[in-house]
Copies of this chain bind each other. A is one copy, B any other.
Amino acid sequence: MAITYLDAIREAQARALEEDENVYIYGQDVANFGGAFKATKGLSDRFPDRVIDAPISEDAIIGSAIGAAIEGMRPIVEMQFADFSSIGFNQIINQAATHFWRTGVPCPITIRLPSGGTEGSGPFHSQSMESIYAHYPGLIVMTPATVEDAYGMLLEAIRIDDPVIFCEHKLLYYHLKAEELPKVILPVGKARIARAGRHATVVACSAMVHEALRAARELAEDGWEIEVVDLRSAKPIDTDTILASVARTGRLLAVAESFPWGGLTSEIVSRVASEGFHLLDAPPQRLNSKDTPIPYHPNLWRVHRPTWQSIASATRNLIQL
C-alpha cells in the first residue's frame, strides 16, 4: 500500500492524537470536512473533541493555540494556505516566538502551512514563507521533502517544546509516495544527503529537492556527479553537513522557491562564504523564484519558480565557473 506525503501528514497527526491527549487540531474546515486538502480527514471521527473547526480568524486561531500551549496542550494549527498565515503573523512572531524567552514557559504549538506553488494557484495560494518565519528568533521551521520526513518531522514538531512552523508542499501532497511509514527518522536539525556527488553541491528543501534530484540525474548523463543536500529544516540550518558537502565538491548552488531577496538561499550562501570560504572553488550561486508575485497562469508560473531545467542550467554554469 503506497502512502502519500499527505497520508503521512494525516497519519502523524492521528498518531500524535492517539499518543498524547494534549494534542488537538484547530483550523478552518478541519473537522467533518477533513481540511481543504484532506490532511485531517477522518480524524474528527476518531477524536471528535480534539479536531475543531475555527472561524475565519487566523489571528485568534493562533492566539488561542498559544494560550492552550502555555497551559500544556500541544495544538496543531492548520492554516488553509500558508499565504493566510500573514493574518496570524503578529501572533506567530511576537507572541509565540517570544514566549519562552520572555517568560520561561514553553509554547509548543505546531503551525502547518500548506505551502508552495501549484498550477493556477496564483499570488495568494502559492507562497513559501519559510524565509519569513526563520528570520524570527524563537521559531523552528521545518520543510520536509519526503514522505518519511513529512511523517517523522511532524511527529517531532508536535513533541518539541517550541513553536514549529511546518511547511508542507502542496505539490508533493498527492504525487510523492512511499511504501511504508518510517520506523526511525533522522533527528530534526540534520540535513540529509539526498544524492551523493563530487562536482557540485545543490542545497534545497521541500519540493525543490525533487527538482534538484531530477537536475542531478540530467547532469549525470553528461558525467557530472551532483550532490544534493536536502536541508529538511530551514531553521536550524545544518551548516556542518552543507560545509562537509562543499568540502567534497568545491561548488555550491542554493535553491529555494521563495522570493529572491534575503531568504533561505542567501542565508546558505552567506554561511558557506563566511565559514567555508576556502572550500569553494567557484563563486557560490543561488536560484530562487523571480522577484514578482507568483503568477496564476501555468505558462508564467513554470518560469517564475526554479525547475529542474533552470537548476540544471545553473549547475552547468557553476561547474564551468
How many identical subunits does the complex contain?
2
A118 at interface, CB cutoff 8 A = no
A266-289 Cβ-contact flags toward B at 8 Å (1 or 0): 110111111101101011111000
A174 at interface, CB cutoff 8 A = no
Q: CB < 8 Å: which of B123, B275, B286 contacts A102?
A: B123
A299 at interface, CB cutoff 8 A = no
Main secondary structure, interface of A, reads helix
Number of residues on chain A facing chain B (CB within 8 A): 49
A259 at interface, CB cutoff 8 A = yes
Question: A251 → chain B, closest Cβ, in Å?
Answer: 11
A187 at interface, CB cutoff 8 A = no
Q: CB < 8 Å: which of B123, B258, B266, B282 contacts A270?
A: B266
Pair A262/B269 contact, Cβ less than 8 Å: no
Pair B275/A283 contact, Cβ less than 8 Å: yes
For A278, list chain B residues within 8 Å (CB).
283
A111-154 Cβ-contact flags toward B at 8 Å (1 or 0): 00000000000011000000110111110000000000000000
For A286, list chain B residues within 8 Å (CB).
270, 274
9 nearest interchain CB pairs? A277-B283, A273-B273, A269-B270, A266-B270, A86-B90, A262-B267, A266-B266, A98-B293, A270-B270
